[in-house]
């Protein structure tokens, strides 16, 4: 079966006939859901089933950004709230083992929520380490104020997700924490030296280089490539992400519709794949934009296809035994009911 190296979104709560026909024709590797696609558990389950039906693959990846805090596509009244990443790092500062335990529990609870809906990939954890004065696009999404703290809690969240049958996506590789601009709106340029990047920004990604999937940063690092952001930079992906960081998992672009990127959508997709991304991501469900993205992609093949199969191979066939009621009670007690 020919599969395009793309992850796409849809516009609403149900698939239109046109969307279903388009997805049947182009067969993207996976799909991503946003708040516009979410109403109730039954509705989301029906949508994930319909999306997989269009590509005739029952294990087709369906992604979501369910971090907690301000980045959460699911919420009350049907789904519980989760804290932002920094809340884990601030929890009982004199007890790092407890912080790690609760972070893993948070990941396991997220997986419990998502797997019940047919969602099998969560775009979390954020492994970016902010510096003083950086744009708050990362802010409290970061688990801690140091690379060591981010790496420890990020791994714990990954472990909880994988145990519950959901794949994590480490982001935004090789690091968005120094950015002085929001890449949704502008192109951040980071002028730190390579030594500074290696010691701070790259460190959590190196520690978690065994994870199945990673999402790139739409950020220029002048010490690596003065002209292109990491997403479209061969130097950043091949020399740093694959080389210095040792990441051999599936690399997907961040959303191609973000304003940090230039050129039309066909060129953005083509440039991302030529740089070394295995897949491109387009989120907003705009049919004309998706058509242009597909025109710039290729059939998933070779090493990228192997990485895609290996990533899906990390999905737990039988999730770790879990008492969700007891887990929620323990989680709520740790945060004193703040995120109940």
Q: Tell which residue, 8, 89, 44, 77, has the closest CA to residue 269.
A: 8
What letter would DSSP give residue 212?
S
Q: Which residue in 113, 254, 271, 278 is the catalytic one?
A: 254
C-alpha count within 13 angstroms, C-beta hemisphere, residue 282: 29
Q: Is the dihedral of CA 103, 105, 108, 109 positive or negative?
A: negative
220 Cβ neighbours under 8 A, 6+ residues apart? 187, 188, 189, 190, 226, 227, 228, 229, 230
Distance CA 223, CA 193 (A): 6
Q: Which residue in 56, 184, 210, 264 is the catalytic one?
A: 184
Longest dimension (CA), the chain: 55
Q: Tell which residue, 4, 2, 7, has the closest CA to residue 285.
A: 7
In the block, tokens 């060591």 appear at 148
Residue 254 falls in the annotated catalytic set: yes
Positions marked catalytic: 184, 254
């Amino acid at each position: 079966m020919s599969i395009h190296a793309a992850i796409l979104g849809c516009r609403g709560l149900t698939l239109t006939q046109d969307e279903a026909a388009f997805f049947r024709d182009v067969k993207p590797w996976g799909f991503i859901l946003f708040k516009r696609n979410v109403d109730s558990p039954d509705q989301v389950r029906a949508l994930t089933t319909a999306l997989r039906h269009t590509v005739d693959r029952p294990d087709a990846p369906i992604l979501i950004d369910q971090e907690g805090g301000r980045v959460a596509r699911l919420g009350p009244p049907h789904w519980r709230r989760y804290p932002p990443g920094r809340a884990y790092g601030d929890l009982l500062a004199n007890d790092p083992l407890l912080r790690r335990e609760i972070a893993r529990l948070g990941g396991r609870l997220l997986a419990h929520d998502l797997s019940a809906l047919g969602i099998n990939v969560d775009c979390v954890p954020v492994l970016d380490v902010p510096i003083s004065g950086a744009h708050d696009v990362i802010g409290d999404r970061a688990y801690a104020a140091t690379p060591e703290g981010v790496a420890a809690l990020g791994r714990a969240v990954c472990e909880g997700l994988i145990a519950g049958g959901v794949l994590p996506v480490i982001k935004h590789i090789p690091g968005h924490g120094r950015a002085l601009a929001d890449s949704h709106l502008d192109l951040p340029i980071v002028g730190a030296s390579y030594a500074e990047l290696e010691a701070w920004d790259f460190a959590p990604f190196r520690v978690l280089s065994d994870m199945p999937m990673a999402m790139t940063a739409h950020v220029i690092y002048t010490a690596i490539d003065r002209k292109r952001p990491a997403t479209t930079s061969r130097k950043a992906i091949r020399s740093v992400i694959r080389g210095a960081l040792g990441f051999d998992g599936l690399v997907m672009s961040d959303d191609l519709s973000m304003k940090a990127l230039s050129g039309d959508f066909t060129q953005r997709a083509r440039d991302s794949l030529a740089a070394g991304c295995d897949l491109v991501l387009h989120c907003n469900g705009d049919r004309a934009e998706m058509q242009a993205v597909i025109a710039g992609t290729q059939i998933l093949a070779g090493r990228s296809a192997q990485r895609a199969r290996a990533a899906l191979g990390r999905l737990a066939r039988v999730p770790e035994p879990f008492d969700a009621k007891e887990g929620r009670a323990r989680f709520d007690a740790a945060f004193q009911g703040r995120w109940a």
